[in-house]
Structure 1
Amino acid sequence: MKRIVFSLVLAPALAACAASSHDVAPAALGTPRATADLEALLSIPGPVEVETVVAADWAVERSGLINLDHPTAKAAHLEDGDEPIQIYLHALRHPKYGLFLVDTGVEAAVRTDLDHSLFGGLLGSVMHADKVKVRTDTKAWLAAQPQPPAGVFLTHLHLDHISGIRDVPDATPVYTGPGEAAASDLLFMFTQGTVDEALESKGNLQEWRFEPDPSGQFAGVIDIFGDGTVWALHVPGHTPGSTAYLARTPKGPVLFTGDASHTRWGWEHGVEPGSFSADKPTSAESMKALLALVARHPEIDVRLGHQMLQSTSVAAR
């Protein structure tokens, strides 16, 4: 009886635990637009240079990455098990505004002092941090750049996307989707402390000011610099504030989906992420919107959340 009463008393507090208690503020950067405005420019080469850095190799449960209950997944006889994935840092180099990161790779401490890194302790054990094999840490990568980053564009606040942020200079603005930090989940009782630790020396999280998309394609679209070169797309579902980014480069548009789609198999078969997503139906709708955009503009180079489209995986075989 005492256990039941304790659970009833504690449950509301747990349910209300936010992803992060870090302060947030509306982003001054960015102008809300329509998907039609973005699409009108996609056939025109842009000035932004992009680079995708493989920060680490990893492996996690396939059922978290792919909805194995989806009819297509069942027909393919996909089963749960370890799925090889990667952790990325994407770099955008704008000729006028400088270097921006999309997500943050992996901090140097994961390589040199795992127990005191963001992947350390009990949380790291649950996340199988022992399977994280670092290729390039964020500190070393930034040290090799001719300029410091002017900003970080986060796809969302999950640890594997902010795990390099402590290597980013503290004064660097950090941008995220609306409601991302305030989102509530029982899981955040165990992760909030680590997320707050990652962000503690940073300024307020800058939340994108999305407005309803006049074209009705996405939950919101923002022209980040106001020049049509880099765009933020609100793709909720995996998390409430999940955001994809698109950059217009000299070779054509490049789309960074974040965890709106984790894997090659999921993307190529139109199957949304699995148990790692907070809201599967909304996640499925957001992924459909991204797939439809790419179907209309097949010249888009797609960079998924955790696998390269040309890579192989157990699920893709």
Structure 2
Amino acid sequence: MLYRMIKIDFLFFCILAISCQVTSHKVTPYLSNRSSETVPFSPKPKVWAEFQTVKVADWEASLAGLLDLDDPKAKAAGLKDRLEPISIYFYLVKHAKFGTFMIDSGMGENFPKGKDGRLVSSIVESQMHFDKLKIYETTKSYLSKNKIDLKGVFFTHLHLDHTLGAYEIDRSVPFYVGPGEVTSKYFINLFVQGSTNRLLGESPNLVQFDFGKSQNEISVFDFFGDQSFFVLFVPGHTPGSLAFYIPSMEGGHLVLGDSCHTRWGWKEGVTPGAFTTDRKLNRKSLDFLKGLAETHKPKFVYPGHQERISSLEK
């Protein structure tokens, strides 16, 4: 028995030793002690930020990754694994004083191959169903034709489908990620780190939030300091997953990131499946987001990979 325990411990430490970060790019900490536990009940921004959704592509992904098919509600609905239609989006937040920011990076004009060759490794590509990808808009083209001077990009997280346009964004633009998103280490990152590095591009201006709390503790950060744009730290799907709440006079916008991928998952309160790092923590974060939607009643809720949900829907 003792031998078996030593052997198991040895294997655990071997796996830990060869685990790595999702990217090897240098990251700068963004230190702040101004985070809170929730969004103010009735935010009153000095300036209302404009919010816009841009649909980038349609795609398909495994339903067992998008939804926890072992959840009693999924079983009652008879859901089985299959390819589920999804979409890729980026969002624009336009502030009169601070300028225009993106949430997630959209799609590069030169994806899937950049000027220096393959951006995504063949191993990763074999799992991502790129043959199902239908691209409608590219980030570089959109920013250029709309004459947008981008001030920053907030990543809901650094899974590859959220970084597909990053490498073509100007290198001076800050890339903001959640606490622990870069510095946490996992075995799976051995297979994706090279692809993530290439998609983020050469020497990205990578900035990781640090709210001085436990990396498992949900936090809310008033980024501009005027109640117009709230960054929500909702760990679980990845260590540093972020969601966002943008107040508006007509009711507000709640961007979930991949804490919930689908419309059905949001309406039924079912967490993601195999694509999520920590399902228990994702459950806690999804419950927080559901509570926020109940108290603040946003006009629209935006799942990570399907059409927005109106407050008028039942």
TM-score by length of 1: 0.86
Change (3 A) 1:54 1:116: farther
Superposition pairs for residues 1-317 of structure 1, below 5 Å? Answer: 11-14=15-18, 16-27=19-30, 31-36=34-39, 38-41=40-43, 47-110=48-111, 116=117, 118-119=119-120, 121-211=122-212, 219-309=218-308
CA contact (8 A) 1:92 1:99 kept: yes
The one-character-per-residue Cα deviations of 1:217-249 (angstroms, maximum 9, x if unpaired) are x61111101111111111000001001111123
Q: Tell me how far apart the structure 2 counterparts of residues 113 and 275 of structure 1 sit (CA, whole Å).
A: 29
**Would the aligned equivalents of 2:24 and 2:193 in 1 still touch at CA under 8 Å?**
yes
Q: Unaligned stretches of 5+ in structure 1?
A: 312-317
State percent identity of aligned pairs.
Answer: 37
- Return the alpha-carbon distance in structure 2 between the equivalents of residues 145 and 91 of structure 1: 12
Q: What is the alpha-carbon distance in structure 2 between the residues aligned to residue 11 and residue 172 of structure 1?
A: 35
Paired AA for residue 241 in structure 1: G
Q: Is the 8 A contact 2:46 2:228 kept in 1?
A: no
Contact 1:211 1:220 in 2 (8 A): no
Q: Which amino acid aligns with 2:41?
A: E
**1:26 Cα deviation after fit:** 1.7
Deviation per CA, 1:111-165, whole angstroms, max 9, x where unpaired?
7879945346332222111211111011111111223210001110100011110
Deviation at 1:47, TM superposition (A): 1.5
Give me the TM-score of the superposition, normalised by structure 2: 0.87
- Alpha-carbon offset, residue 253 of structure 1: 1.4
Contact kept? 2:56, 2:106, Cα under 8 Å? yes
CA–CA separation in structure 2 for the residues paired with 1:202 and 1:248: 34
Distance 2:109 2:249 in 1: 32
- Counterparts of 1:234 and 1:186 in 2: how far apart (Å)? 23
Q: Distance in 2 between matches of 1:79 and 1:120?
A: 29
**1:315: which partner in 2?**
none
Separation of aligned partners in 1, 2:33 and 2:171: 22
Q: Deviations over 1:257-301 (max 9, x none)?
A: 100110001000000010100000110110010001101122342
Between stretches 296-305 and 68-77, larger displacement belongs to 296-305
Matched with 2:3 is none
- The 1:181/1:103 distance shift into structure 2, 3 A limit, reads same
Q: For residue 19 of structure 1, what is the amino acid of its counterpart? A: V
Contact 1:110/1:119 (8 A) holds in 2: no
Q: Secondary structure of the residue that 1:299 maps to in structure 2?
A: coil
Shift in Å, 1:31? 3.5
The one-letter code matched in structure 1 to 2:27 is: V
CA distance in 2 between partners of 1:46 and 1:68 (Å): 43
> In the aligned structure 1, how far is the partner of 2:56 from the partner of 2:264?
21
Give the Å deviation of 1:12: 4.0
Q: For residues 119 and 109 of structure 2, what CA distance do their matches in structure 1 show?
A: 10
Deviation at 1:211, TM superposition (A): 4.8
Contact 2:41 2:295 in 1 (8 A): no
User: Residue 21 of structure 2 contacts residue 193 of structure 2 at CA under 8 Å; is this kept in 1?
Assistant: yes
What is the CA deviation profile of residues 168-197 of structure 1, one whole-angstrom value per residue up to 9, with x for unaligned ones?
111101100011012222221110011112
